[in-house]
A and B are shown apart, each in its own frame.
Chain A
């Protein structure tokens, strides 16, 4: 939908033409605060039916009987789709979408049926009432560092080689003055965007499919549905106008859109399907648990001579996904002798996928914790240690950095945070029952960009329209694209309409990999540059239909860069640890980023602090336990899986350093959506070590893990010290 033109009145004042770098308010803010913004499940076509999926209740086996007749007799029930009667699907690259196609149950929570009814209540009751019988097989859902079926994949997520070796790690590590050898573990984590995955789908008599889908990229949803339902791509329209967060979990089509389209075809009615929150953990992807061994060898002055980061993780039997947690170690520090490896085991678990900064968030927790351990082992301040290990070029590739201002982030962060004079000893700052500590960690995230198309249109009345199938999942895409267009056209953003979120618009890549603004913005920039040229060449009044220019960045955005391109950042945290309860609370969190040109300070800051907040959850509260007996995630809803609440988020500050990098895109921007989470968990964990004086290497740092290590306060009740 085209947004209103009247939202940008506050900034800048007339006569201040600069469109970029300004803190324009979020364009759709008014619609969002009034409830006018509609999400995927908030369209109800006439005669709309409702669907409710039925998850498998065994971890591995086959469906042997589905007692659908009982359910079909219930009032309001229209259909119960199962593998015996659901529409046959065409091919797809993603086997998690081969839904209701056979009797196999690859993991608990895999969908085995779909109830469709006149109302939401009847659909839910029908799904609850369906009796399913299974032949069960032995299942294996436990990730261990020595699992016999671990293997080395060809590559990890993002196309990264699974294994990289440089120099002679073993010899250099053996010869090092100082050695750190530590293993860190993280449980599975869940994205849990506030809007559960939802779709509203209908077919028309001419064989066309229209879907409102909660997705980070509707072009891929369109193409995937066309393949699955064997219709031309232009017979499918996907709308993702407002999306209630995704954090990777809506990066590619998920089960809901396939099931909704199936049910709509089967019943001949529009069908609305919103996945119940407690089903999400099993079907929309998760951050895979990791066991990460990091070994650092250094000379006594702290300079790293040997670095090994070895990652063990799980995937499902349905599709291989390998969390690329060892990849950031290939970029971060001086490491003449290095080994970075990934091994994975395919278990009878749900399929992992992208969750905010996959690889970087998990890997940097381990690497930055190990750096803190090296700082302690060498007696060098943790900020100083990192400064001493700044590489001249990217260690793994040997490429020069297009820009790297990690040192500036560390110094500026230290200054703002008040790091100087920090107590070097750990476990000594006490305030009543509380132990206090501070910690630091670095962050990095690669510069990703994909080809995109866009069209820019000039109207006779002096206004402009930008058309590009971008998706705004909460980033502020509409706002920043208007700014980019206005900058090129030499106008104010409030003269620019932005039309996004629909697959019939010029094709554009997904909102993911912190690449949206770079990818869409580049195409918008190019289209507007061409339009500006046409406008300059035109004399007199514009024709009635206005003037348009389209652009495709296939060549320039697809070109490989001779530079290593990454954003960097530094995180500083102060925590308090309650010696009576074992509770850790973050008192202060501060991040400084070097992420190219910041195009809109207001929305950029929101993304940075949002990522940092998710990092607090990763450090302290978020944990998903794979129940070995049932083969199920134990924490499946928001009561059991603890995302940070308002009370968990203290003063959080985000700043950035000026960075002028000519090797990126015409705007000079790097991605900012993910780097905020990357170093946060390590900074918090390092602060907990500083507070308590004990290194805990298993996230999250919950009270049960802290209590056994806390000195008894004089009035502590006995329970608090009998911990384990």
Chain B
């Protein structure tokens, strides 16, 4: 415990690989991954909607898996590989999920959008690896149903809705979000 009257903010050196670049940051131990991205790296694509893991607006990919960055302390992510919505496009060429969101008007105010897109990218990878969801009936899994053996068939709107329900959209763009993801899944 620090002496009273001489308080100090405990900080740590944290290394993160963000959108392909290794960065070293000196961060308050209380700083979440979300705040590290937004306030320290000016990567504001990840949004703060609730700060409690309830809305999904802060979703990024950590080690390729989708995660609520507001629930992760940056210091605990030391050495992690983080991809934000800013890291999905290749130069001017949008990621297929981003393209599909534009094409299907799968956004209105846009505040949940980066989280929806990162979540969709992570979700499609989970499905492709064969991870089932609540909506996946046993007989709808690919013949060899162990994880890693391909997406549940058919990968329909029900599957997408179920798997995307951690990302809230108050504007109510869900039908268009589902259409966009379905298109990206086909491509």
Q: Given A74-B7, A607-B108, check contact A30 B170 (CB 8 Å).
A: no
Q: Restricting to A507-551, which residues have a CB under 8 Å from any CB of B?
A: none
Chain B residues with CB under 8 A of A643: 168, 170
B47 touches which of A74, A244, A613 (Cβ 8 Å) = A244
A34 touches B85 (CB 8 A): yes
**Chain A-chain B contacts (Cβ-Cβ < 8 Å), number:** 193
Minimum CB–CB distance for A279 against chain B, Å = 11
Chain A residues with CB under 8 A of B98: 33-34
Minimum CB–CB distance for B87 against chain A, Å = 9
Q: Does A388 contact B (CB under 8 A)?
A: no
Chain A residues with CB under 8 A of B112: 194
Q: Restricting to B46-64, which residues have a CB under 8 Å from any CB of A?
A: 46-52, 54-55, 57
A195 touches B109 (CB 8 A): yes
B48 touches A41 (CB 8 A): yes
Q: Does B110 contact A (CB under 8 A)?
A: yes
B48 touches A613 (CB 8 A): no
B178 touches A26 (CB 8 A): no
Residue of B nearest to A34 (CB): B89
Q: Restricting to A595-635, which residues have a CB under 8 Å from any CB of B?
A: 602-603, 605-607, 609-614
B105 touches which of A34, A73, A242, A603 (Cβ 8 Å) = A603
B7 touches A73 (CB 8 A): yes
Which of B124-132, B141-149, B159-167 sits within the interface? B159-167
What CA separation (Å) do A612 and B117 show in the bound complex? 23
Q: Mark B101-143, 1 if CB is under 8 A from A, else 0.
A: 1110101111111100100000000000000000000000000
What CA separation (Å) do A194 and B114 show in the bound complex? 12
Question: Is the interface on chain A under 10, 10 to 19, 20 to 34, or 35 or more residues?
Answer: 35 or more
Q: Given A120-B35, A122-B9, check contact A277 B51 (CB 8 Å).
A: yes
What CA separation (Å) do A263 and B48 show in the bound complex? 22
A29 touches which of B31, B47, B105 (Cβ 8 Å) = B105
Q: Does A51 contact B (CB under 8 A)?
A: no
B111 touches A194 (CB 8 A): yes
Q: Does A661 contact B (CB under 8 A)?
A: no
Q: Given A42-B38, A194-B57, A643-B168, check contact A121 B107 (CB 8 Å).
A: no
Minimum CB–CB distance for B117 against chain A, Å = 6
Which of A330-338, A647-655, A697-705 sits within the interface? A647-655
Q: Does A193 contact B (CB under 8 A)?
A: yes
What CA separation (Å) do A638 and B165 show in the bound complex? 13
Chain B residues with CB under 8 A of A32: 107, 110, 113-114
Residue of A nearest to B52 (CB): A637
Q: Does A639 contact B (CB under 8 A)?
A: yes
B172 touches A26 (CB 8 A): no
A75 touches B49 (CB 8 A): no
A243 touches B94 (CB 8 A): no
B50 touches A245 (CB 8 A): no
Chain B residues with CB under 8 A of A25: 102-103, 105
Q: Given A33-B113, A276-B51, check contact A26 B107 (CB 8 Å).
A: yes
- Extra contacts, 20 of them, besides A44-B39, A474-B107, A646-B162 (Cβ < 8 A), are A33-B113, A35-B84, A39-B111, A75-B8, A119-B39, A121-B30, A191-B170, A192-B170, A193-B109, A243-B109, A474-B108, A476-B108, A610-B172, A613-B172, A638-B49, A638-B168, A643-B168, A646-B160, A646-B161, A647-B161
A residues contacting B by CB (< 8 A) are 25-26, 28-39, 41-42, 44, 73-76, 119-122, 125, 191-196, 242-245, 247, 274, 276-278, 473-476, 602-603, 605-607, 609-614, 637-639, 643-649, 651-652
Can you sample 18 A-B contacts with CB below 8 Å? A25-B103, A30-B94, A33-B102, A34-B45, A42-B44, A194-B111, A243-B109, A244-B47, A474-B171, A606-B176, A609-B172, A611-B172, A612-B172, A614-B172, A638-B54, A644-B174, A646-B177, A648-B165
